[in-house]
Amino acid sequence: MKLDKFVLAQNMAFLISIPPESNLAKLLAFCLTTKAGKNTPGTKILEMTYDLIENPSKLPYWT
């Protein structure tokens, strides 16, 4: 259990250290706004991602 907490702490520290104006922060914000929930199957998320890569005009202007 301690290892899980350590890994979680490392990942949280990484996310916290990302500057809000960076491209990575913008990508993370975009991923959060898609609102893919725990009931969204991985194949659906992959399909959504592939569609956005193929049709980038569907992306919001701020991305």
Instruction: Tell me if 51 sits within 8 A of 58, measured CB to CB.
Output: yes
Burial 8-36 (b: 16+ CB within 10 A, else e): eeeeeeeeeeeeeeeeeeeeeeeeeeeee
Per residue in 6-61, pLDDT (tens digit) is 998 999 999 899 998 998 888 888 777 777 777 888 788 888 888 878 887 877 66
User: pTM, whole model, 2 decimals?
Assistant: 0.52
Q: What is the dihedral of CA 51, 38, 36, 6, to 10 degrees?
A: -100
On the question of pLDDT at 62 being above 70, the answer is no
Instruction: Tell me if 18 sits within 8 A of 28, measured CB to CB.
Output: yes
